Amino acid sequence: MYDLKRLFNNTDVLETIPKSELTQIDSLLKKSIDKNYQHSGCWQIDLINIFGKELVLELLDDIDHYNYSKYKDYLGVETKNHLDIGSGSGKTPLLIHKKHADLTIKCVDVSTNYLSQEAKAILSKTKKITFSCYEKGSNLPYPDSKMGSASLFYVLHHCHPIDNVIRLLNEVHRVLIKDGFLIVIDEPIRNSNHKRLKEQIDIAVNSLLFDQELSLDIIGENISKDSFRTFENKPDQHPGFSDLNFFANDELQSFFTETGFKLIEYIEPNNWNWIFDRAIYILNKQD
């Protein structure tokens, strides 16, 4: 068998998976060597069907906590204010709030429709987290030089065209204090095949997080190619997912430089990187 403990990098999670499922995963990993199978996108669907929704969500939580351990020291410098852009379900700001109760966290996204019930409940009880909406491509609804730090987690590949990426980064630069930090997590691509792979993973994972119809598909019967594609084909219900645009690492770094950010640290996480390969960029605002 493949070294599944090395692949999973989390023995606690590995021990929760029945042996029969480990055998299926092992078979799937061996099959994934076939480039035609890799590029078809079928392996993500197969893998989610083997894992099931609960284990995939546990996997995502593990990723979030690992990522947090790498960026936590850069949050809210001087001001105790942090801005999270593209907050989605609220997972990221809730995690930061639980770890940093002294931080005031401003959340912004194009819609509140994706907020989880947990996020809504916490938002109703505390003034430490607030949520605002803004129109994609417009100015962020915050004054100049007020935020000690900001985060863009899996957001830039939803910005299209590139002008929107530059505009958003310029806006983040505007609202950060002098020497403030921007933390970016995204999924740089290596080539066109990797780009398509990332698009399919993004749709599959977000279907679990945000789309009740697809979530029910996965909880009940196996997710099908048709239901997997319905999420991609609902741009009116899921703004941002109809124009995925993943960038290469050198492209992302050129965007940061162009908008006045200096790269302080580049991190390639090693947990779950065989399926969710990603990069963490710690950036410092330059005048």
CA 229/CA 226 separation, integer angstroms: 5
Least confident range from 59-73, 128-142, 224-238: namely: 224-238
Question: How sure is the predictor about 166, in pLDDT bands with cuts at 50, 70 and 90?
Answer: very high
Give the model's pLDDT for residue 108.
96
Give the model's pLDDT for residue 162.
93
Q: Where are the domains of the chain?
A: 77-188+244-285
**More confident call, 281 vs 30:** 281
State the Rg of the chain over Cα.
19
CATH second-level architecture of 77-188+244-285? 3-Layer(aba) Sandwich (3.40)
- Sign for the pseudo-dihedral over CA of 202, 252, 262, 259: negative
pLDDT above 90 for 89: no
Q: What average pLDDT does the segment 192-221 reach?
A: 60
Match 């492209």 to its residue by tokens.
251
Q: What is the DSSP string of 74-142?
A: GTTTTT-EEEEES-TTSHHHHHHHHH-TT-EEEEEES-STT--HHHHHHHTT-SSEEEEE--TTS--SS
**More confident call, 74 vs 13:** 74
The sheet with strand 261-267 has its strands ordered as 129-133, 104-109, 81-85, 147-153, 176-186, 279-285, 261-267
Q: What average pLDDT does the segment 127-134 reach?
A: 93
Give the model's pLDDT for residue 15.
59
**More confident call, 34 vs 137:** 137
Max CA distance (Å), the chain? 57
| pTM summary value | 0.80
Question: How sure is the predictor about 148, in pLDDT bands with cuts at 50, 70 and 90?
Answer: very high
Reference 259, options 133, 162, 187, 188; nearest CA is 162
Q: List all residues 6 or more positions away from 137 whose beta carbon is below 8 Å from its beta carbon.
A: 163, 164, 167
Backbone angles phi, psi at 285, to 5 degrees: -65, 130
CA 259/CA 165 separation, integer angstroms: 10
CA 94/CA 83 separation, integer angstroms: 13
CB 227 within 8 A of CB 233: no
Q: List all residues 6 or more positions away from 212 whose beta carbon is below 8 Å from its beta carbon.
A: none
Give the model's pLDDT for residue 165.
96
